[in-house]
Chain A
Amino acid sequence: MTTWQPILLSRVTQPNSEKIATYLDSGGYTGLRKALTMSPDQIIAEVKASGLRGRGGAGFPTGAKWGFIPKDAPVKYLAVNTDEGEPGTFKDRLIVERDPHAILEGVIIAAYAIGAHRAFVYIRGEFFLGVKRWIKAIADAYQYGFLGKNILGSGFDLDLSVHRGAGAYICGEETAMIESLEGHRGEPRLKPPYPAQIGLWGQPTLVQNCETLVNIPHIILRGSQWYASIGTEQSKGPKIFCVSGHVNRPGNYELPLGVTLREVIYEHAGGVRLGRNIKAVIPGGASTPMLTPEHLDVPMAFETLQAVGSALGTGAVMVMDETTDMVEVVRRITSFFVHESCGICTPCRLGGRRMLDSLERIAGGRAAADELAKLDVLMHGISGLTFCPMGTGMCEPVSSGLTRFRDEFEARVRS
């Protein structure tokens, strides 16, 4: 069993973990102090060398993203993505509620590195406690001189405010989030241009996930070499795995990337309930393709999961035992995406609806033999043909379900 002393979740179980005093007592904001003695270029170089990749789902190299923000732009923004909505994912909620300063320290360092003086937290409207914790953390940070004018005497200014979303999964997509921050419907923009060039109010904008930002102070304090020594070839550092479903000990587990799915499920999450066998595992949230027991020894890393036709996504591991009805699972996930489609792209809006109709016919035993072939045609007209990744994302569970659990689908259609 991998032994790992948590760094991202080191405080979340402590009493009063959300308070600034607790954070300062455990060495909080020393990463910021060190960062402010470095040049922005040095920080970006350090983050690049660490190999850190975004933890919000896409896994884009963080340092490279920071490097895309034009240095000479007079106004730049930073948006902190706390719009955690991918089914199966509950890590950012935990950090915001229990250790908001750990994110905040990363926010200030990131803003300093890209030269942004105005930053925004965009948080899911449903996270009532998280909103309160963010607001309190920011107020305390102003009082201690970590936010506002001339932070810790460095001459760097940064203002930060909290903005509540209002119930829309799509606003976790960076351009939809920008639209929502501007006060509009959360409809994604066509890319390019990327937010790094044209983002919030037309200015260069960095959008970064909470968990990603929590890594930053540790990289600054302990160095990129240390960070890059953790993990695999292309997936560096620790990752929070949100384990749920049919396991004995569901919860958030921080482990180095590269740990096997088997270890996450059996060693850390206590194995499958009632000692049953696994039928399926979703490795990275509802939009990542499903895996089967033969994949249990695959390392949990970006490149290795991609190699077996899935993705690390948000690291949300959903475990389904041998009694699970896979047709119903696929129908439920599709129902989620159809509900959350913003509707701006026809393939996603109408194609998703048609997929759900089809899956409901199959689940209800009302489908003809050619229904599965029809689903394939539909997916061909959705995947990759939308502004944002949601169109592709809604096809992944259906397509992997149809491939890996074909017999269950075939048993439900009329021959």
Chain B
Amino acid sequence: MNQQVRGENPKVQPVGSAVIDPGKQAVLLAALYIAQEQKGYLTPEAVERVANRLGLRPGDVYSTASFYTLFRTEPVGHYLIQVCDGLSCYLCDGADRIAGYVGAKLGLKPGETSPDGRFTLEMVQCLASCGTAPAMRVNDQLYENLTPAGIDAIIERLMGEV
């Protein structure tokens, strides 16, 4: 019905399929991970490509992507430093203190990316490292039992790698 109405008006083009294939919908999260790999975030073009490929509406794909914190719709630094903001990390002198320490070294506040695009610093929810707190993650590498000296070594190595 809706498709017919749309079809009658040349200005209104059908977007996506009228019938959603549950099998294709189910691989959406996996598809978004792949789409995000190229640029480190989901560009509008990437969202549209995923939608077309799976027969979904771009708006629905964007809606789902925006629900999950691991999908990004904004550019992110080459190294994404995520400091655990969990209660156990806070109790073990982590969280804000770690973020402050890392931030001072890089000249960043949580939520900021360095102008050269090398580093993004942010706070994240509990990383399930409470027994080895404080913790932070750089891209897909988890660092636990953090100390100032340990952080110095990590940042120095990353600086050398870029």
Contact = CB atoms under 8 A, between A and B. Distances in A.
A90 B87 contact: no
B133 interface: yes
Among A182, A184, A201, A251, which residue has the most Cβ atoms of chain B within 10 A? A184
Interface in B40-90: 63-64, 67-71, 85-88, 90
A250 B130 contact: yes
A223 interface: no
B111 interface: no
A93 interface: yes
B68 A88 contact: no
Contact of B131 (A84, A164, A244, A340): A244
Nearest to B26: A183
A33 interface: no
B3 interface: no
A250 B133 contact: yes
Given A183-B29, A184-B64, A318-B87, A85 B70 contact: no
Nearest to A162: B30
Interface stretch (B98-106, B120-128, B148-156): B120-128
Nearest to B140: A128
B131 A251 contact: yes
A332 B71 CA distance: 24
B52 to A, nearest CB: 16
Among B24, B29, B32, B133, which residue has the most Cβ atoms of chain A within 10 A? B29
Interface string A54-91: 00000000000000000000000000000011111110
A332 B25 contact: no
Interface residues of A, number: 52
Contacts of A127: 128
Interface string A231-262: 00000000000111110001110000000000
A124 B30 contact: no
A183 B25 contact: yes
A355 interface: no
A163 interface: yes
B28 A183 contact: yes
A9 B24 CA distance: 38
Given A126-B137, A182-B26, A329 B68 contact: no
A167 interface: yes
A89 B125 contact: no
A302 interface: no
A316 interface: yes
B68 A167 contact: yes
A165 B70 CA distance: 9
A180 B128 CA distance: 21
B111 to A, nearest CB: 13
Interface in A102-133: 124-129
Contacts of B85: 332, 336
B98 to A, nearest CB: 15
A68 to B, nearest CB: 24
Contact of B130 (A88, A125, A164): A88
B132 interface: yes
A318 to B, nearest CB: 6
B55 to A, nearest CB: 12
Contacts of B140: 128
A84 to B, nearest CB: 5
Nearest to B126: A87
A87 B86 contact: yes
8 contacts: A128-B140, A167-B70, A168-B69, A182-B22, A183-B64, A243-B131, A245-B92, A332-B85
Given A165-B68, A336-B86, 18 more contacts: A85-B128, A126-B128, A128-B140, A166-B32, A166-B69, A168-B67, A182-B26, A183-B24, A183-B28, A184-B28, A242-B131, A244-B131, A244-B133, A246-B91, A246-B92, A286-B87, A318-B88, A332-B90
- In the A-B complex, the 6 residue pairs with the closest CB atoms: A166-B68, A167-B69, A244-B130, A183-B28, A167-B70, A244-B88
